[in-house]
Structure 1
Amino acid sequence: MSHDPISLPVDARLPAWQLALFGLQHVLSMAASPITAVFLIAKTLALPADLTVQLIGATFFACGIGTLVQSLGVGPIGARMPFVMVPGGAPTMLFAGIAAQAGLPTAAGAALLASAFYWVLLPVFTRCLRLFPRIVVGAMLLLVSINLIRIYATIVVGQPGSADFAQPRSLGLALATIVATVVVAGAFRGTAGRLAVLIGLMAGATLGWALGAMPALGDVWHGPLFTHPAWLPFGMPRFDVLAALPLLIFTAVSMAEATAQTVAVGETCGKAIALRRDVPKTIRGDALASLAGALFGTPLIVTSAENIGVVQTTGVRSRYVTAAAGAILLVIALFAPLARLAYAIPAAVVGGTALVVFAMIGVMGIRLLASVDLHARANQYTLAAALVVGLAPILVPNLYRHFGAPVQIVLGNGMAAGTLAAIATQLAFAALARLGGQAHAAAAAAPARDA
């Protein structure tokens, strides 16, 4: 009697209508990420409206490519599991910071260098993980959260001294968006609760439209119906390793995150994970998606942690569902009115949504720090060093204005500076502990030799 192999849920092929429905659900759960990422870059750099709309489409396009690669796989690239790709919050902030200090061509070059660095670092990735214990990663997430909250609070209220600074309507829209998000997350379970961020965004946008903060919906049809991402929209990239250092540092952290997410999705889908076989496939998928995005002007594209919750909530584990989500993302990217509609959302609404999303990054950091023994002196000083060096440029902008550009880019970035300080402190305490142990052993051996 022959035995047909049992198909894992991850490889289940569903009817087309179910693929479309469940795929759309994944898209709705992550749709705010590309919008907030582009808004961060556009507002930080004061980009024109047409370029911003183009970048929104390009970001959806890169996310679609990455999602298809991770879901279906291309040779040794892609996890072949239900992953959805998004522009990471930390690399978006780093991209915007590099662009603000060294220009958009340098930021594009940094994204390309970081995409290539994935491939270089992958063979020695496991050795690098020892430099990122939980105390370091927790501090890094906390610094990223604080910095992004400061940036998006400025987007909500405007620049001090400007005519529209802290307008009640802007504050009201942001607050309404935050309240709607929290209410939905607390009142609903399952899929509705998972869509709290998007529902809050839609509620804020609806209120903004009612208050006249949005153009007429008919305006989104003005202009071409279809568009495509522009190749190298900022011109020829400029490659500056010092400028790219914050993003290069992030790739190591991203690889550690990809490891945890691969294991988590594997457990959710009932698929046995072999770390040496499956994790490199996920990381290569991140690298390829980031490379595609960098060529179209986006920050690094990484696997989405939110998507794991969607898989758990729905119980639909098929990678073909997320492949359908990737196809939907490509349609959104190429259909220009959808990008214009995204751009028309008031900045205060997007800012309010982002404040919730990026505050959750801080919650993740605090949760990691809570699992660390903070009674240990090494951990205490590691966290203290990270907070001092990392928060200083966040709380005191232009702290390093009289230093050279390389110093400003590295130390002026709170996350990069704090991470380097934490790693250096950890290594210093480890070295001192080894020296102390050797001295103690030598002192204990001396009486024995004298005897």
Structure 2
Amino acid sequence: MAQPATGPAEGPKPLIGTAVHPCDEKLPPSRLVPAALQHIAAMYAGVVTPPLIIGQAVGLDTAGMTRLIAASLLIAGLATIVQTIGIGAFAGNRLPFVNAASSAGIAPMLAIAETSAPGHQLPAIYGAVLVAGVFCLTVGPFFGRLLRFFPPLVTGVVITLIGVTLMPVPVAWAQGGDATAADFGAMKYLALAAFTLVVILLVQRFGRGFLKQVALLVGMFVGTLAAIPFGLADFSALRSAPLAALPAPFAFGAPEFHPAAILSLCIVMLVLMTESSAGMLALGEICDRRTDGRTITRGLRTDGIATLLGPVFGGFPTSAFAQNVGVVSLTRVRSRYVVAAAGGALLVLGAFPVLGAVVSLVPMPVLGGAGIVLFGSIAVSGIRTLSEAGLDDSSNIILVAVALGAGIIPLAAPTFYAGFPAWAQTVLGSGISAGALVAVVLNLFFHHLGTHSRPAVALKSS
């Protein structure tokens, strides 16, 4: 695995004729606001997805969902500001880097919820998240030495499994969301989900510039409007949502600590740290700013701080958002203050729960249509990573095949691990953690043990 370059922590390469590095450029409002809006549009659906899925799984009411979404927005805003502005030499990579709740943690957290007693699901999840945050803070300074154990071969498997194992969620949403309802799977729900999906595809095909960037949000907005005449959208709960309020600490109960749940999320945290490191390397190249070991350490500390704060207010494991790296690459607007402004906007959104209530009231079939695109695109990202991971090697093909198979077992046969101990059900019952474990072990077996530590393919920063 390629190691990050060494050099000064800030080490920008001077640009001819320019006194200020593009990362440090302070844009006028006329340029800053539109650029920040693009980042918000690119990240918003991803930020609210984990609280939506977890909240639905544990049976939260509208008020609980609103608090969960507000907390996710608040933590994302705080983490993004710390990353871009920095806290001295301790935290923040000072790159145009977005941090928010990652979809990678959803499947393991769903597995934790399924093996926890009613009323103890969120406390069990938050106990594991809290320890995962401490784990990230502890391992972060040394993670550069561990990167070779997480090549694109491993991360590609995990990212693919994230998309594949989460696909049943939007499919259930498209059928109405409540599998116990008499009208689950009714044609009206399927038609609304299909309509939302078609709108997203049309905007993606014919939209231009900013409109194309927000295709997912446009589809959800139009789908919600279409649901109103048919009585499939209910906004009455908005009246009870507070206009402005900060999330209360431990509103969902004190964290509970279960070893199997903790192990599962610590495995996921290693994957998230790999993603963040790759994102920082990529941004370093895009922004023409050297990314060394200290930069990565400060960035991972920010991940750890945000993940550690998550259980206090109702957030989840935090990592880099790859789609925002893509926005920087596409627009060539490299100012970290643009992303800091986007983080500030997320803080404002999190401080106004009524805005979170609007998102929580989007009809399930609409979320289903949008979710098919969202989770499908995650799987495609993983496949793209695997395509660059050296699959011409037969050992790598076997590694990917076995790891994907292990990850798909819980999806294909949900009762496969029913006879296993509870701790094994939590770890192996999540396709993501099971696939990640197998991929890491087989990568060690094929490429490190007795082979002079030759990684499958070095971590690329692009």
- Structure 1 residues 224-260: Cα deviation after superposition (integer angstroms, max 9, x where no partner): 3212112112211112232111211122221221122
1:431, CA displacement in angstroms?
7.0
- SS at structure 2 position matched to 1:82: coil
Q: Counterpart in 1 of 2:13? A: none
CA, structure 1 residues 180+429, in 2 after alignment: closer, same or farther (shift >3 Å)?
A: same
Shift in CA distance, 427/187, structure 1 to aligned 2, threshold 3 Å: same
Distance 1:366 1:61, change over 3 A: same
SS in 2 for 1:31: helix
Match of residue 105 from structure 1? 123
Q: 1:183 offset after TM fit, Å?
A: 2.1
Deviation larger for 18-27 or 191-200: 18-27
Structure 1 residues 221 and 49, CA gap change in structure 2 (3 angstroms): closer
Decide which moves more: 159-168 or 69-78: 159-168
Structure 1 pair 314–139 and aligned structure 2 pair: CA distance change class (3 A): closer
| Greater per-residue helix proportion | 1
Q: How many pairs align?
A: 431
2:253 maps to 1:240: no
Q: Which residue of 2 aligns with 1:252?
A: 270
CA contact (8 A) 2:92 2:298 kept: yes
- Which residue number corresponds to residue 103 of structure 2? 89
- The equivalent of 1:201 in structure 2 is 220
Q: Distance in 1 between matches of 2:104 and 2:247?
A: 23
Report the Cα offset of residue 308 of structure 1: 1.9
**Paired AA for residue 197 in structure 2:** I
Say whether residues 1:44 and 2:64 are aligned partners. Answer: no
Contact (CA 8 Å) 2:62, 2:237: kept in 1 or not? no
Backbone CA RMSD of aligned residues: 2.3
What is the match of residue 306 of structure 2? 289
CA deviations over 1:5-41 (Å, ceiling 9, x no partner): 7111211122345434432332222221232221101
- Within the alignment, does 1:70 sit opposite 2:83 as a pair? yes
For 1:315 and 1:124, the matched residues in 2 are separated by: 32
- The answer to which of 372-381 and 396-405 deviates more is 372-381
Q: 1:59 to 1:161 in 2, by over 3 A?
A: closer
Partners of 1:71 and 1:83 within 8 A in 2: yes
Matched residues in 1 for 2:354 and 2:447: separation? 56
Output the CA distance in 1 between the equivalents of 2:238 and 2:214. 25
User: Matches of 2:17 and 2:179 in 1, distance apart?
Assistant: 68
CA contact (8 A) 1:140 1:415 kept: yes
Q: 2:348 maps to which residue?
A: 331
Q: Distance in 2 between matches of 1:193 and 1:223?
A: 31
How far apart are 1:429 and its partner, in Å?
Answer: 3.3
1:67-110 deviation digits (Å, cap 9, x = unpaired)? 11111111220111222222111113322322232322111011
3-state secondary structure, aligned to 1:231: coil
| Aligned residue number for residue 227 of structure 1 | 245
Paired residue for 2:134?
A: 116
Amino acid paired to 1:109: G
Q: Cα gap change, 1:346/1:114 in structure 2, threshold over 3 Å: closer, same or farther?
A: same
Q: 1:400 to 1:23 in 2, by over 3 A?
A: same
Q: Which amino acid aligns with 1:57?
A: A
CA distance in 2, matches of 1:387, 1:333: 37
Which of 40, 47, 55 matches 1:27?
40
Select 1:307's aligned residue among 324, 329, 349: 324
* C-alpha separation in 2, matches of 1:419 and 1:346: 33
Please identify runs of 4+ aligned residues in structure 1 that moved more than 6 A: none
Look up the match of 1:442. none
Matches within 5 A, 1:321-360: 321-360=338-377
| Map of 1:162 onto structure 2 | 181
Report SS of the residue matched to 1:208.
helix
Structure label with greater radius of gyration: 1
Task: State how far apart, in whole Å, the 2-side matches of 1:374 and 1:18 are.
Answer: 43
TM-score, with length taken from structure 1: 0.89
For 2:451 and 2:361, the matched residues in 1 are separated by 59
Indicate if the aligned counterparts of 1:378 and 1:426 stay in contact, CA closer than 8 A. no
TM alignment of 1:333-412, pairs within 5 A: 333-412=350-429
Percent identity at matched positions? 35
1:270-296 Cα shifts (integer Å, max 9, x gaps):
3x2232121112111211222222211
Tell me how far 1:416 sits from its aligned partner: 1.0
Q: Distance in 1 between matches of 2:272 and 2:293?
A: 17
Unaligned runs of 5+ in 1: 436-451
Displacement of 1:4 after TM fit?
Answer: 10
The answer to whether the 8 A contact 2:174-2:190 is kept is yes
Which range moved further: 301-310 or 402-411?
301-310
The separation in 2 between residues aligned to 1:317 and 1:384, in whole angstroms, is: 39
The structure-2 alpha-carbon separation of the partners of 1:410 and 1:188, relative to structure 1 and needing over 3 Å to count, comes to same
Take 2:239 and 2:387, find their aligned partners in 1: how far apart are those partners? 50
Report the alpha carbon displacement of residue 433 of structure 1 after superposing the two structures with TM. Answer: 6.4
Shift of 1:434: 5.1
Corresponding residue of 2:204: 185
Deviation at 1:54, TM superposition (A): 0.8
Q: Which residue of structure 2 aligns with residue 15 of structure 1?
A: 28
Cα distance between partner residues in 2 of 1:282 and 1:137: 19
Match of 2:165 among 132, 147, 154: 147
Structure 2 runs not aligned, ≥5 long: 1-15, 453-462
Shift of 1:407: 0.7
Decide whether aligned partners of structure 1 residues 431 and 34 sit closer, same or farther in structure 2, where only a CA change above 3 A counts.
closer
